[in-house]
Amino acid sequence: MKRVAILISGGGSNMARLVESMTGAHPARPVLVASNDPAAAGLDRAAALGVPTAAVDHRDFRGDRAAFEAALLAPLLAARPDIICLAGFMRILTPGFVHRFAGRMLNIHPSLLPRYTGLQTHARALAAGDGEAGCTVHLVTPVLDVGPILGQARVPVLPDDTPDTLAARVLAAEHRLYPAVLRRFAEGDRARLDL
């Protein structure tokens, strides 16, 4: 059984979908949900789902990323994860942290990478006049949002879309994509999934 730790910063809707997917014949189980924000709603959600939680407030480290990561590593290593899923985790990780989990740290990003790395992906897709949008699950490498792609899900952009309506449609696609990719990844299948 593969052990999965999930890092969040906010509501944790992707985290909840991942946790809920890991039952029965699924080859993985959730062992920790950790957040850089002690007030993240996803922490309560994880606890309600029966998953151990940890919070390491990045603001306590005043911009010292390495010190923040050292503190985050303590509960993370104690949980002995085989796989780490970033699920709405909004801190940039240092190369040292990324290398430690090379090839076994996944991220979900709300765009069809390589388009729109970084933030405000939906507003940028609308401004570009894109006819479709979507989300990507990829392996994390030291360059932000640029690791090998494990899967993508596409949704249409509709004429009256605002960044919020498009974000909601993409988030629903994230909820389909991430559990499907995690399951395949935990089974050892690295082939790209397109939904």
Which residues are registered as beta bridge partners of 4? Answer: 30, 83
Per-residue binding string, ligand GAR, 152-171, x by CB under 6 A, is -------------------x
Per-residue binding string, ligand GAR, 27-46, x by CB under 6 A, is ---------------x----
Which residues are registered as beta bridge partners of 136? Answer: 109, 152
Instruction: Give yes or no for residue 79 binding ligand GAR (CB under 6 A).
Output: no
Reading across the β-sheet that carries 132-139, which strands appear in turn?
53-55, 28-35, 2-8, 83-86, 105-109, 132-139, 149-156, 193-194
What count of residues does the chain have? 195
93: Cβ contacts below 8 Å, ≥ 6 apart: 65, 69, 140
Does the annotation count 138 as an active-site position?
Answer: no
Total residues binding ligand GAR (CB under 6 A): 15
* 4, 6, 13, 53: which one binds ligand GAR (CB under 6 A): 13
CB of 135 to ligand GAR, least distance (A): 6
- The residue (of 1 and 92) whose beta carbon lies closer to ligand GAR is 92
Identify whether the C-beta of residue 76 lies closer than 8 Å to the C-beta of residue 3: no
* 2, 6, 7, 14: which one binds ligand GAR (CB under 6 A): 14
- The residue (of 25 and 155) whose beta carbon lies closer to ligand GAR is 155
